[in-house]
Structure 1
Amino acid sequence: MPTALVTGASRGIGRAIARRLAATHDIVAVARSGDELQALADEIAREGGRCRAIPLDVTDAGAVHAALDGLEVDVLVNNAGIGVLKPFLELTPDEWRRMVDVNFNALFHVTRAVLPGMVAREAGHVVIIGSIAGRSAFVGGTCYAATKHAVMGFAESLMLEVRDAGVKVSVVSPGSVATDFSPPRARDVAWQLLPEDVAESVAHLVATPPGVLVHRLEVRALSPKRPRG
């Protein structure tokens, strides 16, 4: 069975992606929380799948190198991300640095660890969870939106570099998703996407025929005026 590595797999979108791909892949689940990863691995095992949990801070280049270099994976889902959404003058240097490290620099560390094997085998799929903020702007998004714009540039450039080696690069850009990613708002959010909706989109990309590449996929809830049916 092919192997899929999912970062930020302990909760939210990453957890949903790991559970969805476990039907067709052995899972390597990466996140900082060892307890939550083990709970995910146990859940996947109860459903008949296989999941290896690797507690890891993806912003730590040395730790990523030690844990992932040379690991043979068929699918890499770069999902780990954080968002501190506030006006620029309220952002602290630590908040700025952390978002850039998790949302962008970690893409280099993790992808650099497993991509050489994909290129050598002339097969593989790198999937990156972006955001519609990667092509738009909003108040409070000076850093977050900037990281997601950077993700788009990274992904398209990488796609052009490795496509002739048989390696696919795709970006899934969700709209608002009902997770604990950002603080709850007073307004109704019953219309938002579920993590499972994003996971289904990733599964669709991974299942495309070998000669077909869907490079960008934007996923939105139908309407903020219509609750999910």
Structure 2
Amino acid sequence: MAAHQGTRVFVSGAGRGIGAALARAFAAEGAKVAVNDLDATAAGAVAEEIGGIALPGDAASEQGVKNLIAAAREGLGGGIDIYCANAGVPTGGGPETPEDDWAHAWDVNVMAHVRASRELLPEWLERGSGRFIATVSAAGILSMLGAAPYSATKHAAMAYAEWLAFTYRHQGVKVHAICPQGVRTAMLEVTGEPGQLVLAPTAIEPEEVATAVLAGIAEDRFLILPHPEVADYYALRATQPDRWLGGMNKMQRQLEGRA
């Protein structure tokens, strides 16, 4: 029997990129998949391809999350076993970035996770099982050049995933944080010079991320690192923060030299 035969899975931001790869990977293992995206055409195409259900809509706003989870429960046969909080926005800039852009980054990259878990936890705690998968990014355990809103919100998403994990683990709720570096998606294309300097040289395919996620689930690992070298960077940041900051500043100066 396939590893996820009959498992009911919801994936946000699944019209393309990592989300679409996750939807395909779960479907290939026998799961029933609800494919969400703001782009209804993209969601519909992926759902048709994998035999899932398309649920276009906003997976970030409070009412949008409520509506989507209610529709997914109905469409998947009564509940959700795995929720993939994958939708994200790569907001760049620093303190000069407009307030509305900062707020949007918080809404999509952090509050979407809070709102989804708020809706899902009563169901999961009642039955003693559930799985929350957060697409965080290596920026959530390191940081990203030229992208303060993205870095700050992804750090917050990581902290929230950790909190969920240690708060509900003994009650059967499992949590995973996916932290890839560069992935060959449309999001990489909009990261500009910082992305070309830091992410593009080691970028991997979305399917490689999905493979890492399935392995992480099988091994019950919280932290999923599709780029293994990120573990070394993470350790350096924790144990030698000044050295790590110096290395990041060196790349920042390289970036400014390119301008």
Same fold (TM over 0.5): yes
Match of 1:22 in 2: 27
- SS of the equivalent of 1:57 reads coil
Q: How does 1:97-108 map to 2 (within 5 A)?
A: 97-108=103-114
> 1:167: how far off?
1.3
Unaligned runs of 5+ residues in structure 1 are 46-50, 224-229
Contact (CA 8 Å) 2:84, 2:133: kept in 1 or not? yes
- SS of the equivalent of 2:107 reads helix
Which has the larger Rg? 2
**How many residues end up aligned between the 2 structures?**
213
Which of 10, 13, 18 matches 1:8? 13
Structure 2 CA distance for partners of 1:149 and 1:185, relative to 1, 3 Å: closer
Contact (CA 8 Å) 1:58, 1:109: kept in 2 or not? no
* Higher alpha-carbon deviation: 184-193 or 63-72: 184-193
2:154 corresponds to 1:148: yes
> 1:179: how far off?
0.8
Contact (CA 8 Å) 1:13, 1:198: kept in 2 or not? yes
2:91 partner letter: V
Contact (CA 8 Å) 1:20, 1:200: kept in 2 or not? yes
2:216 corresponds to 1:215: no
CA-atom RMSD in angstroms: 2.1
Match of 1:203 in 2: 214
> 1:118: how far off?
1.6
2:94 corresponds to 1:87: yes
1:67 partner letter: L
Larger helix proportion of the pair: 2
TM-score by length of 1: 0.85
* Higher alpha-carbon deviation: 11-20 or 196-205: 196-205
> 1:67: how far off?
3.0
> 1:185: how far off?
4.9
Which digits, 9 at most, give the CA deviation of each residue in 1:20-42, with x for residues without a partner? 11112110111111111110111
Contact (CA 8 Å) 2:83, 2:132: kept in 1 or not? yes
Larger strand proportion of the pair: 1
> What percentage of residue pairs aligned between the two structures are identical?
30
Match of 1:48 in 2: none
Structure 2 CA distance for partners of 1:63 and 1:191, relative to 1, 3 Å: closer
2:88 corresponds to 1:77: no
Contact (CA 8 Å) 1:30, 1:56: kept in 2 or not? yes
TM-score by length of 2: 0.76
Q: What CA distance in whole angstroms lies between the structure 2 residues aligned with 1:27 and 1:118?
A: 18
Q: How does 1:170-209 map to 2 (within 5 A)?
A: 170-182=176-188, 183=190, 185=192, 189=200, 191-208=202-219
Match of 1:65 in 2: 66
Match of 2:255 in 1: none
Which digits, 9 at most, give the CA deviation of each residue in 1:89-125, with x for residues without a partner? 2x12221111111000111122222222121111121
> 1:222: how far off?
6.8
Q: What CA distance in whole angstroms lies between the structure 1 residues aligned with 2:172 and 2:122?
A: 12
- SS of the equivalent of 1:174 reads coil
Which digits, 9 at most, give the CA deviation of each residue in 1:201-227, with x for residues without a partner? 11112334xxxx31112222779xxxx
Which of 131, 136, 139 matches 1:133? 139
Structure 2 CA distance for partners of 1:185 and 1:152, relative to 1, 3 Å: closer
1:78 partner letter: A
> 1:171: how far off?
0.5
Match of 1:159 in 2: 165
Unaligned runs of 5+ residues in structure 2 are 1-5, 74-78, 231-259
Contact (CA 8 Å) 1:88, 1:140: kept in 2 or not? no
**Higher relative CO (CA 8 A, sep ≥ 6), structure 1 or 2?**
1
Which digits, 9 at most, give the CA deviation of each residue in 1:184-213, with x for residues without a partner? 7575946411111111111112334xxxx3
- SS of the equivalent of 1:219 reads coil
